[in-house]
Amino acid sequence: MEKTSQYQLCQWAPEDRILREDFNRDNANVEAGLAALSVRAAAEESARAAAITAEQQARTQAINSAKSQLESTKADKTALAALQAQVNALPLVKLREVTTSAAAVQVDVSMSGIDLRQYAYVLVVPMLTCNNATVYLRVNKIAEKSYDVDDVSREYLASMSNRDNLYYHLIRLFGTGTQLASMYEYVGYNGHGNAQYAQLRASSGVTPATVQTLNFVSSDSTVKIQAGGRIKIYGVKL
């Protein structure tokens, strides 16, 4: 008698005898095969359910993480907005800071993006070393006698001595209408100080809106402004 290859079920030929034992054995083989299929199906269903649960948990975790980050971002933005409001309320704002990287006879500081008309005045604080030479402050590289310093014609808006490197200088630039003016103050090594009022003549063509550079120039072309000096510029809001 021939039998099937997988479950060994009987395949009767016309001449084969039909016996009860053959039927019982076939039924037992079928039962065993169905039981194995049932176990495998149950295992596959369990694995599928576990995978779906894991995926749902991962998605939920990702969503919760994204929500947490979003809420944190909102909190950060709120804190930054509050901080910015405090900064905006400050009367003094730092506009620029330059450090001289190499010794030079002239140091140019760009005033791009700074409109003097937007401030009550702009405070320039130079901290430069030039041995015993004087440092001149000019505007837009104008070297001619286009400046009036205490009613005297000069080729600079302010002059800064640094004897013994113990002088402290403050320069206030004012955008008065269409003319650029300044008040220069200093305190000397012996505690004595002075102040000078200066303005750039209207004939120079420079207005508070057209200041492009501030130029710090050594009065002696053989003496350089040393590296490592700093120039800070602040704006006092209107």
Reported as a single tens digit per residue, the pLDDT across 174-198 is 876 788 888 888 766 566 667 889 9
The CA distance from 225 to 141, in Å, is 16
Give me the pLDDT at residue 221, please. Answer: 92
- Give the DSSP letter string of 20-48: HHHHHHHHHHHHHHHHHHHHHHHHHHHHH
Q: Please determine, for residue 164, whether its predicted confidence score (pLDDT) is greater than 50.
A: no
* CB 93, CB 207: distance < 8 Å: no
- The amino acid occupying position 10 is C
pTM given for the model: 0.63
Residues 162 and 197 in one domain: yes
Residues 96 and 51 in one domain: no
What is the percent of the chain with per-residue pLDDT over 90, rounded to a whole number? 31
Q: Specify the higher pLDDT residue, 198 or 16.
A: 198
Q: Please determine, for residue 72, whether its predicted confidence score (pLDDT) is greater than 80.
A: no
Give the domain range for residue 53.
2-85
Where is the domain boundary, 26, 55, 85? 85
Tell me which residue of 208, 173, 166 sits closest to 189, measured CA to CA. Answer: 166
Residues 102 and 198 in one domain: yes
Task: Report residue 188 as tokens.
Answer: 């000397």
Where is the domain boundary, 85, 113, 144? 85
Residues 11 and 62 in one domain: yes
Where is the domain boundary, 50, 85, 120? 85
Residues 60 and 177 in one domain: no
Alpha helices, DSSP H, located in 90-189:
none
Residues 21 and 73 in one domain: yes
Q: How many CB atoms lie within 10 A of CB 48?
A: 10
Give me the pLDDT at residue 52, please. Answer: 78
Domain count, the chain: 2
Residues 75 and 96 in one domain: no
Tell me the pLDDT tens digit for each residue of 83-129.
Answer: 778 767 778 889 999 999 999 999 999 999 998 988 889 999 998 88
